Structure 1
C-alpha cells in the first residue's frame, strides 16, 4: 500500500515522533508505515488521517490498482 504520510506530515511541520505520540504508537511504527514496510490497522489509519487533518483515502493508495 502506497502512502503520502511523509509529505503531508512534513507540510504540517510535524516530526515522526510528534505524530507517533499523538497516535499512541512508536516513532518506528510511523517510519515503517511511511517506508511501506508496515500497513497500519484501520483504526491507526483513521487516527493518522485525523491528526493530519485529511482523509484515509487521501493518505493511502492501493499498490494493486491498475493504471488506466
Structure 2
C-alpha cells in the first residue's frame, strides 16, 4: 500500500479537550485503527483512533452545508 497520498485529515492541531465516550461498531473501530496507522506513517507521529475522532467530526461538521446554514460560527 502506498502512503505517498495525503489523507483528508492532515496533521493534528493541539487543542483543549473535553472527554466523551460513545459506542461504535467493531468494523468502524477497525477502520479508525487503520486510518490512524496510515496517518502515523504519513505524518511521522504515532496517533491512535481516539485522538483522530474529534478532528474527523470537526471536519465533517465544517463541511456540512445544512448544519452551517442553521448554525453560527464559533
Which of 1 and 2 has higher RCO (CA within 8 Å, sep 6+)? 1
**Normalized against structure 1, the TM-score is what?**
0.27
**What is the TM-score with the length of structure 2 in the denominator?**
0.26
Q: In terms of Rg, which structure is larger? A: 2
